[in-house]
Amino acid sequence: MDSDHESDDRPPRRPPVPSRDPYVYTLQSSRHATSARVCRDFVACVLNSVGQEELVDTATLCTSELATNAFLHAEGDSVMLRVVIEPPRFRVLVYDASAELPTAACLPEGDRLHGRGLGLVAALADAWGTSEGDAVGIYAKGVWFELAGKEEDEA
C-alpha cells in the first residue's frame, strides 16, 4: 500500500550544514542611466536575504557611487556587479570595460558637484580598491569596496 507520508521509523531530517564557501551573487547590467539604481537594489536585496540588514544603507550608497562612475566614465555596453559574502566580510565589485583606473579618493573642496563618489566610498567603507578584470576578459577592471558585517552566530 502506497502512502503519501514518510515512515515514522526514519530518523528526523537535520537542517543542512551551512557552507564555508563564500556566497557569490552576480548581476550584469546595461551601462545605462538606470544601472546605479538596479545595482543598489540588487545589493540591498542580497544583504536583506542573508541577514545583514545593518549594512544596507552604507552598501547601497557605495554601490551607487561605483555604478554611477562606471556609467559616466567607463567604456563598453555593460557593467557587471559581483557581491561576495564571506562572513563577516561583504565585498561589492563593479566591473567595466575601461582599463583606466579611478583617481585617488579625496573629497573635493567647495561646492563641486562631481568628484565626490570615491571619496565617499573611502570614507564609508572598511576598504576599497581596484582589481583586474573578470576571468572571461569582457571587463578590463573592477572597483570594489568592503564592509564588515556581523558574524553568523551573532545573527
Residue 73, pLDDT score = 84
Residues 6+ apart with CB under 8 A from 136: none
Confidence of residue 83 (pLDDT cuts 50, 70, 90): very high
Q: Where are the beta strands (DSSP E) in the chain?
A: 23-30, 78-86, 89-96, 127-132, 141-148
Q: Name the pTM for this structure.
A: 0.79
| DSSP classification of residue 98 | -
Say yes or no to pLDDT of 104 above 80: no
Q: Which three cell numbers stand for residue 106?
A: 579625496
- Choose the CATH number for 23-148 among 3.30.565.10, 3.40.50.11540, 3.40.47.10, 3.40.50.1110: 3.30.565.10
For the stretch 130-150, pLDDT in tens is 999 888 888 999 999 999 987
Say yes or no to pLDDT of 69 above 70: yes
Residue 111, pLDDT score = 56
Say yes or no to pLDDT of 153 above 70: no
Residue 18, pLDDT score = 60
- For the chain, the C-alpha Rg in angstroms (whole number) is 20
- With contact defined as beta carbons under 8 Å apart, do 141 and 95 qualify? yes
CA-to-CA distance for 119 and 103, rounded, in angstroms? 10
Residue 8, pLDDT score = 65
Say yes or no to pLDDT of 154 above 60: no
Domain boundaries of the chain, sorted by first residue: 23-148
